[in-house]
Structure 1
Amino acid sequence: MLTKFYQHILALVFAINEINEDPHILPNVTLGSRIYDSYYDMRMTYRTTLDLLFKSQRFVPNYKCDTQEKLIAVIGGLGSETSYHMADILSLYKFPQLTYGSFALEDMDARKFPSFYRMVPNENQQYMGVVQLLLHFRWMWIGLLAVNDENGEHFVQSMESLLSQNQICLAFTTRVDKQFFWNDLGDLYGLAYNTYQPFADNRSSTLLFYGESMALVTFNTYLFWGDAGYIENPAFRRVWIMTAQIDFVLSGQQKGLDLQFFQGAISFTIHTKEVRGFQKFLQLMKPDWSKKDYFLQYFWEQAFNCEACTGEEKLESLPEPFFEMHMSGHSYGIYNAVYAVAHALHALHLSRFSHTAKAGGKRFEIQDAQPCQLHPFLQGISFNNSAGETVFFNDKMEMGAGFDITNLVTFANKSLLHVKVGQVNPRAGKGKEFTINEDMIVWQAGFNQELPLSLCNDVCPPGSRKKKKEREKFCCYDCIPCPKGKISDQKDMNDCIKCPEDHYPTKNQDGCVFKVITFLSSEEPLGISLASVAISFSLITVLMLGIFIKHRHTPLVKANNRDVTYVLLLSLLFCFLSSLLFLGLPRKESCFLRQSAFGIIFSVAVSCVLAKTVTVVVAFMATKPGSNMRKWVGKRLAYSIIILCSFLQVTICTVWLKISPPFPDFDMQSLTREIVVECNEGSAIMFYTVLAYMGFLSLISLIVAFLARKLPDSFNEAKFITFSMLIFCSVWLSFVPTYLSTKGKYMVAVEIFSILASGAGLLLCIFCPKCYIILLRPDLNRKQEIIRKKNCRI
């Protein structure tokens, strides 16, 4: 006898006594009960069910009456098979059957068993709770031990699918015998040896056990027969996960055993709540409490291991594997089942009484109630029990209270303590259906109170990812570093991920760091250097312009097209100043202006050079006898060239600014660790069109200057223009590939350098020789000298 289960009988008696003493439920009606044992045997189950229906016996605990008994409902059984065998008979006669420990199989047709009520939740909630528990603790490599029957097969099939969907692997699946049975000693040792096989895999520290309490008793016995000292064996250090059908019990024949082997086990238990007065009821129990309770005497002898018991023994002195003073989940289900039947019977009585009173017929008596009449009232039952919880059935005739999650703590005196550490509650809000407090869990001593690992291999650290091993389950994998540019910030990631655009990977590729915002600042050394050069050349240009204005009446200045020279110097001045627009934080205004301003100003400068070169050529050709070029000599030709060439560039820039103007932007891709604040050119085609047109003008100027390089010195700037345009074209030809191959703020630096270098080439090559003559060799800046050199050349 499993003495711990005697509490189920006591919960039944306690509930009946409460109802019989309550004047508000079934007044003037006394409830009684008959109790049968199925002995875990199919034939005995059928026999006792038939005896219950058709054999008249009188057993009303603690109450005597001479009225004939009337069976109105049946509560039971504990095991699923027992419940279903009972249902085969009870459903034929439409007797309400309230089972307190059975879960429904998927193929069980509710229409076949319309009178079957479950005081337990749907087992699917337990499946999902197990999966959530495994995921919470990252136990991905587990062993499964299931009872060897139809229920066990159903559980294995259901869990295999769920575990696979959640990337959890079964290291092994082992069948466990439901009952302790063997023919000879050889069979026993063979069974013990098979029981030890699951513990060969040291990687699986988590074992899921599915079955009923007798299967656990049998399993524990086999372990003891295989090795009496198995509790101390380090190979058996495991985390046990127990399903709700299992209770930690020991039979009277197992006094020498204990349950320390299951220390730290995590159990899914049917939800319970302490009922007021139940513990006091248990404390008053005596072996002579009821002479008609034939189980009580036998229970007392087995529990206290006494043949001549004194009656002074206390139930609270028994270790929990033999008896529990707190109401278990199964006992709580029985307690609620008794009240459900009582409330349904009470509702039936009120309904019939009201109906007959209105119709004026015979008064309805409780003794006249038929079991089938209770079904409509049971199906719609809803009441608050003495523990303060609402009891009702869902549309599948199941209780929906969910499961408690408890942690088993064992002690040296073979006593146990179940500590509630979580719950599975489908009525809770979204995301709160599963809760667990891992800080309250006491693990098996071998784990040193550290979270156990249950993996096929070592955890992949952050900075790496999993790679599946060939010909092994998907839970077995190698760890490989993340590829460049990707990170994994958690353990055991299936794949590495990219950082957000504004982050970059750490050195170990296990996290992301904010990128630094950067731009070419006028306060950093590079920016200061470029700005200093730009200002220096601007001052030099202003100085040269002042020199030419001061000496504007000298022959040298007059001979080199004085007005065009002024325009050229002014355009060069603005070229140098325009480079300052590229420094500092890009803003809407600076982005809008800088490229178009640079393009237009440089086009004016190159147009001036072209105009000066063409003017020299035309002037020389006009001096030849009979030449028709005299009408082209003058300022009109130079002005026309400057205006026309500049106008075309202005048109290009206007179209650009109209259709797709530049704007401030963040370049997060070019550099790994920096976000570059830049001016997005809007239309790359228009940008390169501006450069291409400027390059075209430069090339024309270079060609014309090259052809005019041998003209007389007195009229000729062509040699200097040729050299300056050669520098100019070289700078901008090298600019394009350099610009495209540079990233970040250095792209801006390359463009500023190109502007300054090309502008400086024009300024120094064209105007330095003239300033040298004006300032240092005024003797050469005379009309006679110019005429003399002209005659020598001719």
Structure 2
Amino acid sequence: MIRGVFGGEPCQLMVKSIPASVYQAGNVVIGGLFPVHVKAPQPELEFRMEKLNDSCEIFNQRAYRWLQTMIFAVEEINNNPNLLPNVTLGYLAADTCLAESTTLLAAMAMVTGHEVNLANSECGSVPMVPVIVGDASTSASIVVADTLGVFDIPMVSYLASCMCLSDNSRYPSFFRTMPSDAAQAWAMAELLRLMGWTWVGLVSADDDFGRFGIQMLVDALRGTEVCVAYHEVIPKDYPKMTMQRIVKNIQKSTARAVVTFLIGQDAKALFEEVVHQNVTEKQWIANDAWVTYGTVSVPHNIPSLAGTIGFALRKADIPGLGAFLAHIKSRMSSPNFDPFMKELWEELFGCSPSADLRGALCSGSEVIGIGESLYTDVSQLRITYNVYKAVYAIAHAINDMLACEPGKGFFLKGQCPDVQRLQPLQIAHYLREVNFTTPLEEWINFDENGDPPASYDIINWHVTAERTIEFVTVGHFVSSQGSNGQFHIDMDRVVWGGGSRQEVPVSVCSSPCPLGTRTAVQKGRPVCCFDCLPCAEGKISNQTGSLECIQCPERFWSNSNHTVCIPQQVDFLSYTDTMGIVLSITSAVGATLTAATFATFFYYRHTPLVRANNSEVIFMLLLSLKLCFLCALAFIGQPVVWSCLLRHTLFGISFVLCISCLLSRTLVVLVAFRSTLPGENLIRYVGPVQQRLGISICTLVQVLICVLWLTFAPPQPAERDIMDNWGPKIVLECANGSVVGFSLVLGYIGLLAFVCLLLAFLARKLPDNFNEAKLITFSMLIFCNVWVAFVPAYISSPGKYTVAVEIFAILASSYGLLLCIFAPKCFIILLRPEKNTKKHIMTR
């Protein structure tokens, strides 16, 4: 049934292909497609007979409000003398039943007029509709746009948001006041990133809106750290087993954040099962199609949906619309011709306004109150405002046609359109050019794809004291053409899933790796699911959730927690180390004892014991021993050029001088007591001059070796990296420069020591009261044993212990020589002076 008015007289029209429609004549008739019902009749698939009197089911008060808003806008424009003067707009609004088939049939009937029959011939004919407002469904809009686009018939949709409809090559005549899902998907991705929700579930409708919307979201998330835990699709017939399975998957998933791309009816079916299974503590992210849908935000759903956050179209306050909706009955001269109003009355009052329907007849005193039903709820005018803008966009396009000057038009030879015989292609052209401000002071235009600027309110569901849902705006998202948009949210006002105002819910597959570790993706799972592995030695991670560990720069190493790079420990034997202090004191004590011995021998230089030992060689031996003790100090401290040059040269020359003195003394004793043949006077070959010459020659050989070593490959300060239980260390040491030079220095000392030991061993049993050869033998045995043990210890000791081993060998051999040779003599000189006589010394 269609109720129409032409020339002020009511007329009744029958439209065979349209389940129910509303018509009013005008100079230009605008078509409108609205899902006043949400369930279409099942088709006859056997084709044996024509199905008659099949009607759509489940009345949608919200969509009926959209239809009435179109009528309100048309009447408002017709009453505006500044817009479309001398032109009256009419309308033909049809019910689509939220099905592609009925939507296409209604659209085809509008643009052809073939299925419109007149019940009264005086009513005239219904003209073909040149432009359509609609449809609400993305899938139906695609079907209609594909069909009508062939004829260049423009559509201005108020709710279809699929990005696919922005394809100008495929849909050149499609426009919309509803922003593309691309902007909403980007805003959702930004919300997920901002909140740190990296593990999310996706739920979409089984239609083009859901499929393309989710695809847009996945594209927006590409390259971010957000991963999809699951993707559930809501079938259109809502089978119970399938819905139960979907909700169970949502409940058992560790993803707390759930993003939806659903229309209101799909959301209603989903949340009925969500509430039935008592799914709470999920953070629902709603798309604009249901975030303010009253059927979903009922008190029964509060435990599961409190704290829902989502994106809604910009809210508007259309003056006069509430009163217009409430006084619908006064505009109907006969309610029998408006099936929509009959069903509305039954929904609101439980009675029928006419006697031809079953049920109680209304008394006629029923009054529709503003805001008392979903139909008259004007507190959240969002999609309703899109309908309002769509009608005004068409009106301004027609108004621009009227302003066209002959010869300056956009068509052939500058022709202007004829409004009385308006062509759809002409309206499509002028729609692309519209640029106007609505009565609510919002600027409207379309880009090259027919899309408007995107503007969303961020809506949060708060629970009032009366246990109802309040839609609170906690932020905004605005996207201008050619940019991703600006995102703002007031975190202090947000109530999170489950009704908590505390911290932001955590929705991650794996918690961010702490400092000192890196993420390692689990095999076969999304990148958001990972293990935390400690950084390797020498690497750090100083940020939570690091993907890779950072290599420490040169001369730095990681601390024990692998969180910061610290300077590598510089390792050398210093005077502040305990070992350095002990060795320094030991060296100083040895030098002091040697000096004391020197002073004792000098004081008693005229006694027989000192004179019998050739005091000149004794003093030279003591001086060399003192140098041996003091050269150990050159090995302590940070290596520098002079200390490296001094260390081994002073050590080598001092020990050669010392051993040369001992060798000279041993040779004198051996020659003196082995000269037994008559007339044999070998002692003249080992006199003081010969002894000085021999000591000098032996020492000069070592000096020559050291000079050659220092000339061609001298020791230099060097650094060496070693690893111990606490990490790597930089060992500061003196590189030998030439292994041959170092070996010759040690080898020459060893050769002299071996010769001295051999000669002392031969003279060990010489018959004298004080046999010095025995003392020299013991001292050289200690010396040789120390340096034989020194070689493997020196090679195997790490870091500063290499130097410590060398110092220990120097001090041990020096103490061995000092104590074995001079302790017995000092004992006699100081404590047994009676034995310090020539008679006692000469006694065999």
Equivalent-residue separation in structure 1 for 2:481 and 2:788 (angstroms)? 76
**Cα separation, partners in 2 of 1:727 and 1:249, compared to 1, 3 Å:** same
Alignment equivalent of 1:263, drawn from 305, 322, 343? 305
- Give, as a single letter, the amino acid of the residue that structure 1 aligns with 2:266: A
State yes or no: 1:606 paired with 2:655. yes
Corresponding residue for residue 586 of structure 1: none
Q: Provide the C-alpha distance between the structure 2 equivalents of 1:356 and 1:459, rounded to a whole number of angstroms.
A: 63
Cα distance in 2 for residues equivalent to 1:10 and 1:387: 18
* Per-residue Cα deviation, 1:48-106 (whole angstroms, up to 9, x for no partner): 22343344999xxxxxxx9x989664332111122112213331222332323223465
Matches within 5 A, 1:264-663: 264=306, 266-272=308-314, 274-275=315-316, 277-278=317-318, 281-282=321-322, 285-288=325-328, 290-291=331-332, 297=341, 301=345, 304-305=348-349, 307=351, 313-318=368-373, 323-328=377-382, 330-338=383-391, 340-341=393-394, 352=405, 355=408, 370-373=423-426, 378-379=431-432, 391=444, 393-394=446-447, 396-399=449-452, 401=454, 404-410=457-463, 415-421=468-474, 439-445=492-498, 502-505=557-560, 528-544=581-597, 555=611, 558=614, 561=617, 565=621, 568-569=624-625, 571-582=627-638, 590-612=639-661, 615=664, 634=693, 635-651=695-711, 654=714, 656-657=715-716, 661-662=717-718
2:111 to 35, 53, 68: 53
Secondary structure in 2 aligned to 1:700?
helix
Q: 2:46 — aligned with what?
A: none
Q: 1:463 to 1:573 in 2, by over 3 A?
A: closer
- Per-residue Cα deviation, 1:399-454 (whole angstroms, up to 9, x for no partner): 45265543333558674322344566666999996665655443454879676566
The answer to which structure has the higher strand fraction is 2
TM-score, normalised with respect to structure 1: 0.71
Aligned CA distance change for structure 1 residues 761 and 55 (closer, same or farther; 3 Å): same
Q: Which runs of 5+ in 2 are unaligned?
A: 1-58, 117-123, 352-361, 764-770
Give the distance between the partners of 1:391 and 1:105, measured in 2 at CA: 19
Q: Does the 8 A contact of 2:516 with 2:535 survive in 1?
A: no
Equivalent position amino acid for 1:323 in 2: D
Q: Is the 8 A contact 1:599 1:690 kept in 2?
A: no
SS of the residue aligned with 1:315? coil
Q: Tell me by how many angstroms 1:35 deviates.
A: 3.1
- Compared CA separation, residues 20 and 322, structure 1 to 2 (3 A): closer
Q: Please, which moves more after superposition, 461-470 or 706-715?
A: 461-470
1:246 has 2:290 as partner: yes
Match of 2:135 among 77, 87, 92: 77
How far residue 644 of structure 1 moved from its aligned partner, in angstroms, is: 1.5
Closer, same or farther: CA 355–755 of 1 in aligned 2, 3 Å: same
Amino acid corresponding to residue 311 of structure 2 in structure 1: T
- Aligned CA distance change for structure 1 residues 236 and 352 (closer, same or farther; 3 Å): same
Say whether the 8 Å CA contact 2:203–2:232 is kept in structure 1: yes
Letter in 1 for 2:650: I
Deviates more, 1:570-579 or 1:82-91: 570-579
Matched, 1:117 2:175: yes
> Structure 1 residues 301, 487: CA separation in 2 closer, same or farther (over 3 Å shift)?
farther
Q: State how far apart, in whole Å, the 1-side matches of 2:366 and 2:131 are.
A: 33
**Partners of 2:419 and 2:525 in 1: how far apart?**
63
**Is residue 534–residue 579 contact of structure 1 (8 Å, CA) maintained in 2?**
no
User: Contact 1:144/1:170 (CA < 8 Å) preserved in 2?
Assistant: yes
Relative to structure 1, is the Cα distance of residues 407 and 494 closer, same or farther in structure 2, using a 3 angstrom cutoff?
A: same
Give 1:547 shift: 5.4
Distance 2:836 2:508 in 1: 98
Higher helix share: 1
Shift of 1:258: 4.6
Cα distance change, pair 176–772 in 1 and its aligned pair in 2 (3 A): closer
Q: Secondary structure at the match of 2:140?
A: helix
Corresponding residue SS for 2:150: helix
Which position in structure 2 is the counterpart of 1:210?
261
Question: Could you say which residue in structure 2 is the equivalent of 1:226?
Answer: none
| CA gap 1:711/1:353 in 2 versus in 1, 3 angstroms | farther
Partner of 1:35: 93
Contact 1:561 1:612 in 2 (8 A): yes
What is the SS of the residue equivalent to 1:662?
strand
Structure 2 residue identity aligned to 1:43: S
1:601 shift after superposition: 2.8
1:178 aligns with 2:236: yes
Contact 1:7 1:324 in 2 (8 A): no
State how far apart, in whole Å, the 1-side matches of 2:660 and 2:291 are: 105
Cα distance in 1 for partners of 2:340, 2:559 equals: 73
Matches of 1:339 and 1:668 in 2, distance apart? 81
The CA deviation at 1:143 is 5.2
CA contact (8 A) 1:504 1:514 kept: yes
Contact 2:461 2:472 in 1 (8 A): yes
Give the Cα separation in 2 of the matches to 1:16 and 1:84: 26
Question: CA offset at residue 544 of structure 1?
Answer: 4.7
CA distance in structure 1 between the aligned counterparts of 2:194 and 2:249, rounded to whole angstroms: 24
TM-score (norm 2): 0.67
Q: What is the match of residue 185 of structure 1?
A: none
Aligned equivalents of 1:195, 1:717: Cα separation in 2: 100
Pair 1:687–1:648, CA change in 2 (3 A): closer
Q: In the alignment, what sits opposite 1:754? A: 805
8 Å CA contact 2:137, 2:160 repeated in 1: yes
Task: Give RMSD over aligned pairs.
Answer: 5.8
Seq. identity, %: 16
Pair member with larger Rg? 2
SS of aligned partner of 2:381? coil
Alpha carbons of structure 1 residues 39 and 642: separation in structure 2 relative to 1, 3 Å: same
1:699 counterpart residue number = 750
* Cα distance in 2, alignment partners of residues 118 and 752 from structure 1: 86
> Contact conserved, 1:603 with 1:649, CA < 8 A, in 2?
no
User: Any unmatched runs of 5+ in structure 1?
Assistant: 59-65, 181-187, 224-229, 583-589, 741-746
* Deviation (angstroms), 1:153: 5.1
Q: 2:759 aligns with which of 708, 718, 741?
A: 708
